[in-house]
Amino acid sequence: MDVFNFLCRTREAKLRLEQHRLRLYRIAYSWTHHAALADDLVQETLTKAMQKSSQLRDPNAGEAWLYSILANCYHDHFRRHRASEEIDNNTLIDESTPEKESSEQEIVLKVRAAIAKLSEGQRQVVTLVDIQGLSYMEVAQILNVPIGTVMSRLCRARQTLKDLLADLSPKLADEVKIRRIK
């Protein structure tokens, strides 16, 4: 309380501020739900009010003025103590990295080169079934060949691609699935 007495030079100013202290504390506590923080905010509010008391033009508006100082102290406190993160401690999570894009582009080029090595019939069937997602029946109608031919060309094309692309990844070769007739 010594600081309070020191800052309040006149007895009248001290009495006015003490009258408002309890109300300020109740408001601060209702905003923060933390007794120590509410007390700190009230103390800061009263300190600022005493320092800036010469700026108060209408003594009748003193209560509203104190509440506005309390509101500013409250906002200032949370601006100062806002949770901030060190950018150096954050790990950036981005699925697309230059290394990954380069690797994917390399795979695409190898797959295109492998498809180019297939015979024309196999190349047509692979692109229509595996890339475009058409059914065996639709491919048979488009190419005007029996469905059995589509299936045999697709089987041979996939086996050839599996052999040509074996160096890429063992997983990639295992992911090639035979599609059923739709």
pLDDT digits (tens, 9 = 90+) for 11-34: 776 776 677 888 888 888 888 888
Are residues 41 and 74 in contact, defined by beta-carbon separation less than 8 angstroms?
yes
Q: Supply 112's token pair.
A: 């295109």
Dihedral class, residue 38 (left if φ above 0, else alpha if ψ from -120 to 50, else beta): alpha
pLDDT digits (tens, 9 = 90+) for 103-115: 888 888 888 889 8
Per-residue pLDDT of the chain (182 residues; tens, 9 = 90+): 444 444 455 677 677 667 788 888 888 888 888 899 999 999 998 888 878 877 777 777 777 788 888 888 988 888 887 765 555 666 656 677 788 888 888 888 888 889 889 998 898 899 889 888 889 998 898 889 999 999 999 999 999 999 988 887 655 445 555 555 65
pTM of the model: 0.42
* Secondary structure percentages of the chain, helix, strand, coil, to 5: 75, 0, 25
User: Which residues, in sequence order, are CB contacts of 150 under 8 Å at separation 6+?
Assistant: 125, 129, 136, 139, 140, 143
Q: Supply 147's token pair.
A: 């469905």
C-alpha distances (whole Å) from 160 to each of 45, 145, 178 are: 80, 21, 14
